[in-house]
Amino acid sequence: MSLNLFIAVVCVVAAILLTIATVRFFFSARKPQARPAFKDQPADARASAGDTLRTRRSDNRESIVLLTRQLVVSAILTLLVLLPSLVRALYPNVVPDWMVDPWVQAIIITPVMFYGGAPIHIDGWDALLRRVPNMNSLASIGTIAAYAYGILVCLFESALPQAMREPYFEVTGVIITLVLFARWAVDMWLPRRPAFPLQERVDRVSRVWVPITILIALWAFVCWLIFGPQPSFTRALLMGVSVLIIACPAALGWAAPLSAGAALDDAQRYGLTVRTTSALQQAKDTAVVLVSRKLAPSAGQAIAQLSGTGVAVAEVDARRTDEAVRALAERRANGATVMFIGDGSEDVRVRDAADIAVACVALDNPEAAPIHADVIAAPTDYACALKLIRLSKATMRNIRENLWWAFIFNLVGIPLAAGVLYPFTGWVLNPMLACVAMILSSICVVLNAVRLRHCKLDGAW
């Protein structure tokens, strides 16, 4: 035991009290505070066929420009710190000492921490105070801990053992850059309101995952402080930082937006313009397709293919608005996911009555068109429903694979970062290795999402 018995007991009692306070704060029966809804669009608004990606981009152009600038600055400055450190680790005599000097690295990475990381810290701590922690909350805590440790090394380098003088400023930069990229991808590819339905589930998981990770880091710190070798405080701080770093869910934040972005690009190649992300998620569950009677005579082959996949297909006279709305409502009342395919001239109530509205219409700019539809296809593309269902299934499978990978990575990585192997092997996962592992995890998610670009939507089923 590194500490005397009295101090050890005080540390354990303090950790227990902090654990109880954390659990009561995040998991009490009191409902979390929600952000005020936008005046023009309430938070609980249903995914409407009119909420297009183009609207999302144009309404937030200034914020996306700022976010892009923060991402570029963070990436460049992080590389200036990361590359010399990596090269120095492989070839010690190649990199000059001044390029890996802690004070030089601190000067370079400070703009990343406070300029690039500003949206992460603001959103993360706002979510923590509202008791709905998200990916940014964990990223903010992890980067603050890593940055604080680096400043500690700068100020007291001579007092630390040689093996613990690495400031790990590059870790701060990498985390902020990866999380900024995830945020940028979400803003570019996915509308904020309504959110991608599956992303909302990921956010709910984050609300539980973040407090648990904080508690694991806390107890890792206490255990190393009490039982770890000297200098116990510095080692304990390092282990706590490692847990927070490896748990920073960059891969979790990328899982949905990257896959959805790749799917949207794939849809464009096959002549489909997907205007709402809810359609991309719901299409896989399509049980009933109602086709406008105006299109049915020309869509015989596509209807036969749909029927062969087990999807019920029926005609509806969209010109009789009340009758069409009633037919759609009856099928949705049974819990079935209903898709409507028309030519874009139907009453808006008909398209709103379906879970997914598809318009087969010729337009110069489908994304910016005033047509009220979730998906726009070419006028003669009667197989659009088949393509959309296949794309939806492939996309959701890809996202689930990404989420499972992120979960398994954290399930294995967090115990290693906490030092569970140290009593048996004497090995610990330092923050730099934790950072490299997080980068590799994110790369795996990116490569898996890219596979969607090779998804074939046409051909026989």
Of 40-49, 269-278, 313-322, 371-380, which gets the smallest average pLDDT?
40-49
pLDDT at 41: 41
With a pLDDT cut of 70, the percent of the chain lying above it is 86
pLDDT at 301: 82
Instruction: Work out the pLDDT band at 249, boundaries 50, 70, 90.
Output: low
pLDDT digits (tens, 9 = 90+) for 389-408: 999 999 999 988 888 888 88
Mean pLDDT of 266-294: 87
Question: Where in the chain do CATH 3.40.50.1000 domains reside?
Answer: 273-380
Topology at the third CATH level for domain 273-380: Rossmann fold (3.40.50)
Mean pLDDT of 300-309: 83
Mean pLDDT of 41-50: 39
Q: Which of 11, 19, 247, 77 is nearest to 146 (CA)?
A: 247
pLDDT digits (tens, 9 = 90+) for 91-116: 878 788 888 888 999 999 999 999 99
Please, what is the average pLDDT of the chain? 80
Separation of alpha carbons 347 and 372, rounded Å: 9
* Inter-CA distances, 3 with 15, 233, 236, Å: 15, 10, 12
Q: Which of 56, 35, 385, 377 is nearest to 192 (CA)?
A: 56
Mean pLDDT of 349-374: 76
Instruction: Work out the pLDDT band at 232, boundaries 50, 70, 90.
Output: confident
Angle at 101 between CA 98 and CA 102, to 5 degrees: 160
Of 121-135, 165-179, 195-209, 358-372, which gets the smallest average pLDDT?
358-372
For the chain, helix, strand, coil in percent to 5 are 70, 5, 25
Beta strand pairing status for 273-274 and 337-342? Answer: unpaired
The two structure tokens encoding residue 214: 């904080």
Instruction: Work out the pLDDT band at 40, boundaries 50, 70, 90.
Output: very low
25, 174 Cβ separation under 8 angstroms? no
The residue to which tokens 């105070």 are assigned: 129
pLDDT digits (tens, 9 = 90+) for 445-454: 888 888 887 7
Give the best-scoring range by mean pLDDT among 41-50, 130-139, 249-258, 369-378: 130-139
Q: Of residues 231 and 287, which shows the higher confidence score?
A: 287
pLDDT digits (tens, 9 = 90+) for 168-219: 898 899 889 988 887 787 777 654 444 566 667 777 787 888 899 899 999 9
pLDDT at 413: 86
* Inter-CA distances, 281 with 286, 395, 406, 433, Å: 10, 8, 20, 36
Which secondary-structure segment (H or E) carries 289?
strand 286-292
